[in-house]
Structure formats: C-alpha cells, structure tokens
Amino acid sequence: MFYIEHGEFDKATERFQYEIDHPDGGSKKFWAEIHYKLAMAWLQAPYKNGNLVIDEMDRTLSSPHIPEAIGELGKALQADPDFYWAHTVLAFIYFHQGNDQMARFHEKQIKDILQKQGNPSP
C-alpha cells in the first residue's frame, strides 16, 4: 500500500502479483484483500493514510487497466463473495461504463451485505 499511496503503481502491481504467484497460506479474506489491492493498483486509485479517497475516484476511469482491475475484483469476490469494497468499486466502474445491469447487480450485493451486518442501506 506504500507504493500505491506514493503513486508507484507499477511497483505495487509487481508486489501484489508476486504475493499471488507465491502463495504462503492465508485465509480466503486475506486473498480477497490481495486481489482487491492489486485491482486498486491497476486503477491507480487515490489513497491517503491507508484510506481510499472516494472523492478522487473519477480519475481511475481513465486507467488503461480497467479490464485487469475488473478481473482482480472478480477474483476477490470468488474468495469472499461479501467483500463490500470489491462490489462498490465494480458498481462504480460498471455505472460509468453504462453497464446498468452489472452496476445494479453489485449495488444489490452491497445492500444485502449491509443488511446482513445490520447496517442501513446506503
């Protein structure tokens, strides 16, 4: 995440890809997080102090690596189908691509996750 926060996205993708290529245990949630972070590196997502800067996410839409990011987010959801942030980013991408069906699907998943956790819908 250091590399992402400092704009060194190539180094971040290399690091996360190395972790994926050389697995050493880890839970399904751990692997979901690794795939999610690789997706965020592909998108060159804005992070500050370890937190995603939602207000600056529009810049990710110009990434030439959106297909790679979508693939990694899909892998994150294979490992953890209730991974809120993977669904959130996919809904964002699909909404801006004009794929309303997929955007709505991920929005529904987000609402279902929040209901399971006892939180109100966004």
Which domains, and CATH codes, for the chain? 2-116 (1.25.40.10)
Is the pLDDT at 120 greater than 80? The verdict is no
Q: Give the span between the Cα atoms of 74 and 72, in whole angstroms.
A: 5
Q: Sorting pLDDT into bands at 50, 70 and 90, what band is 49?
A: confident
Query: Average of pLDDT values for 103-122?
Result: 88
pTM for this predicted structure? 0.88
Q: What contacts 114, CB < 8 A, 6 or more positions away?
A: 84, 120, 121, 122
- Answer yes or no: is pLDDT of 11 > 70: yes
Rounded-to-integer distance, Cα 34 and Cα 72, Å: 9
Residue 121 has pLDDT above 60, yes or no: no
What is the distance between the alpha carbons of residues 25 and 5, in angstroms, rounded to a whole number? 26
Q: Above 80 in pLDDT, residue 70?
A: yes
Angle at 61 between CA 59 and CA 63, to 5 degrees: 90
Q: Which helix (H) or strand (E) holds 34?
A: helix 28-43
